[in-house]
Structure 1
Amino acid sequence: MKILVLSSLYPNAAQPRHGIFIEHRVAHLARPGDEIRVVAPVPWFPSAHPLFGRYADFGRAPQAATRRGLAISHPRYPVLPKIGMAAAPWLMAAALYPHVAKLRQTFDFDAIDSYYLYPDGVAAGLLARMFGRPFLMSALGTDVSLIPQHRAERRMILAAIARAAAVTTVCGALRDELLALGAAADKVRVVEHGVDLALFRPPANREALRRTLGLDGPAVLSVGHLIDRKGHDLVIRAVAALPGVTLMIAGDGPRDAALRALAAALGVAERVRFLGHVDQARLPDLYGAADVAVNGADREGIANVLLEALACGTPLVATPIWGSPEVVRVPEAGLLSADRSAGAIGAAIARLLAALPERAATRRYAERYDWRETGRLHRALLADAVSARE
């Protein structure tokens, strides 16, 4: 097969952390004889000057690149903040049409494989109709839990699902929500994410690693962008009620100063370590050194940090939202908090620290989340779509 992947979340040199999980998924998709090209559109922005903050990343993104052996192009498309939300798929499809038409002269793709329902999946549906090809859509999280709250966007998503060959979701909770919104049950399949089991693995010498990091007591790790919905504030409040527990926070973002101020106000600044952005290659050491990884988010499909921690042998405390209960469902995976509050998260951390599972058992459980199986299941849906067209 010749597969055209479309996703504005695909990582690039200016946004290396952007949708790494999509890159992993696509990297495990191809079988011998398959060809893949990635079209990863980037919002148009006129300047790459650091003065413009994260918007400058759009200006710095390359026009084309090769990552993990795949050719990737980054055509620009117009974005109208707030007022242009309902027009976003049309603007994306119109901007991509000439680029895809030119690409098709040398790469006559069999199907379009899109990631994130809106605007990417809806735009993929428009392009698939223009080029007479089947398309898949993949739902990842907020494209189901948040965007369909808007009536126009919900109608477009459901119309695209009706035309798609298939739709995948990364967890059963997202599938259930799509069905509740009106999607046909026979269109939606659960294909879970995987984890890089070679990169994320238990440390060879955990005690030596903990000494290097200066950890001599219970340690908790919270990973993610420093924004409100990730719940780092709840984790700080939870740890404040647990004497002797150290909290490591890996991530950067706009709530950095506020979170530091919170730790100081609660009198636990010396027990909360703000590590800033941590490259993916360094994360396994942090997971491996921690006794518990905590995810206090308010909405996720299946968060990468859950699977990464488990692969390193570290059990979880997670809030009972969306896909998290589908991961934290056996004792060796950890515990779900009773609700999304600092008290409930703290109680779950305390319970887990008092009876930690064997780290080897946690790792064995994580091995079911293999990217190779994810790729196999996803490719089978693409093959069915191409066969149905023939």
Structure 2
Amino acid sequence: MLKVLTLSTLFPDATRPTFGVFVERQTMGLAARGGVEVKVVAPIGLPPAPMRDAAYKALAALPARESWKGLEVWRPRFTALPIVGGAINPWVMARAIAPLLAEIRRDFAFDVIDAEFFYPDGPAAVALGRRFGVPVSIKARGADISYWGHRRGCGGQVLAAGRAAGGMLAVSGALRDEMIALGMPGDRIRVHHTGVDQSAFRPVDRAAAKAALGVSGPFVVTIGHLIPRKAQSLTIAAMAQVPGATCWIVGQGPDEAKLRAEIAALGLEGRVHLVGPKPHEALPGILAAADVMALPSASEGLANVWVEALACGTPIVVGDIGGADEVVDRAAAGRIVARGPDAVAAAIRALIAEPPAQADVAEAARRFTWERNGEALEAHLRGLVALP
């Protein structure tokens, strides 16, 4: 029996049901495999009590331990200081959760720590691995390398964690190359593609799917946290050049007011809509209804929503970033474009004018399964602990 302690600051909870849902799904897939037992520790960083807004107060009220979709999950708190705390978060987190891991270990002698994000999870996991004498795996997902890996006070910790880890995972070959360029040992980095539930994310009658959403005509969707890196501003500017098309921007985040102002300035209020966050189970219906999913992000490792859109038969428009060419590997899958409104608009118009067959688009996602993801993850972790 392989006993895995999954450590992830990216994990859903009752207040944020879509936060890190890809980690949740991967962990559920691993736990479902015969011969594997998994426990989850999902630390929550909180500022000091006087600095907590309503969202932080809701996080503070979450149970310290619960059963989450069949997984046993602990949610220990650690103090995260806004603005200045980034460089010390790994140390603070490791110190705060070490007693919990000692308690868990009395009944669950975990063989390996599986850290699901490189910062602050990775450096904390390495410290905890040393303390408990177990190997550590760290998974890189994108911004944890492209942002935290270059940030002063944090980048050195990212590199040191990568060099100390028994093994690493990268969501794309491009991200693996970036990790190697930082100085991490390439022989310990395995490309580990995401999966998609192809029973839920699948092609359906597009006209009927649009009608269910109250949409008609050309339909463009962009899904992601409302932050500059996700480049919703580019998609909004592009929509000014796609006459007659409706666009839904799905997500929430600090850029909401700015994006509303941009929509108003371009006179697009009747066609471009900020629809807020949607539960993950609602995404198949939205993506299957769309003619195009546009996400011209500034950086990505390999975005789950790229693969989810393709599995629904919806082509994507993305920038030449991360693992884009590992997903858009055929014409039917969509377009990789320069990150500017003109190029994004031209790609959207082309895909609306000559839509590829939904079945051909979905074929591009066929290899991205949770079964393959779980099998590869188990093999990787068993290799670290030398279990058969």
Answer yes or no: same fold by TM over 0.5.
yes
TM-score bracket relative to the smaller structure: over 0.9
| Greater Cα shift, 54-63 or 348-357 | 54-63
Report if aligned partners of 1:144, 1:178 keep a CA contact under 8 Å in 2: yes
- Give unpaired runs (5+ residues) of structure 1: none
In the TM superposition, residue 252 of structure 1 has moved relative to its aligned partner by: 2.2
In the TM superposition, residue 46 of structure 1 has moved relative to its aligned partner by: 5.8
What is the count of residue pairs matched by the alignment? 386
**Corresponding residue number in structure 1 for 2:369:** 370
TM-score using structure 2 length:
0.95
In the TM superposition, residue 352 of structure 1 has moved relative to its aligned partner by: 1.7
| Greater Cα shift, 148-157 or 98-107 | 148-157
In structure 2, give the amino acid aligned to 1:379: E
CA distance in 1, matches of 2:320, 2:340: 11
Describe the superposition over 1:133-166 as per-residue Cα deviations: whole angstroms up to 9, x where unpaired. 1110101111110112135422222222222121
- CA shift in 2, pair 1:119/1:333, >3 Å: same
Pairing 1:2–2:3 present: yes
RMSD: 1.9
**Corresponding residue number in structure 2 for 1:217:** 217
Which of 32, 39, 42 is the matching residue for 1:40? 42
In structure 1, the residue corresponding to 2:39 is in which secondary structure? strand
Report if aligned partners of 1:93, 1:127 keep a CA contact under 8 Å in 2: yes
- CA shift in 2, pair 1:81/1:274, >3 Å: closer
Question: For 1:1-390, what aligned pairs fall within 5 Å after superposition?
Answer: 1-30=2-31, 31-45=33-47, 52-203=53-204, 205-337=205-337, 339-387=338-386
- CA shift in 2, pair 1:229/1:330, >3 Å: same
CA distance in 1, matches of 2:254, 2:135: 40
Describe the superposition over 1:253-285 as per-residue Cα deviations: whole angstroms up to 9, x where unpaired. 232232222222212211112222211111111
- CA shift in 2, pair 1:64/1:237, >3 Å: same
Report if aligned partners of 1:169, 1:175 keep a CA contact under 8 Å in 2: yes
- Give unpaired runs (5+ residues) of structure 2: none
CA distance in 2, matches of 1:20, 1:243: 34
Report if aligned partners of 1:191, 1:374 keep a CA contact under 8 Å in 2: yes
In the TM superposition, residue 47 of structure 1 has moved relative to its aligned partner by: 5.5
CA distance in 1, matches of 2:240, 2:58: 36
In structure 2, give the amino acid aligned to 1:322: G
In structure 2, give the amino acid aligned to 1:241: Q
CA distance in 1, matches of 2:273, 2:154: 40
In structure 2, give the amino acid aligned to 1:100: L
Q: What is the percent sequence identity of the aligned residues?
A: 42
In structure 2, give the amino acid aligned to 1:251: G
CA distance in 2, matches of 1:324, 1:177: 14
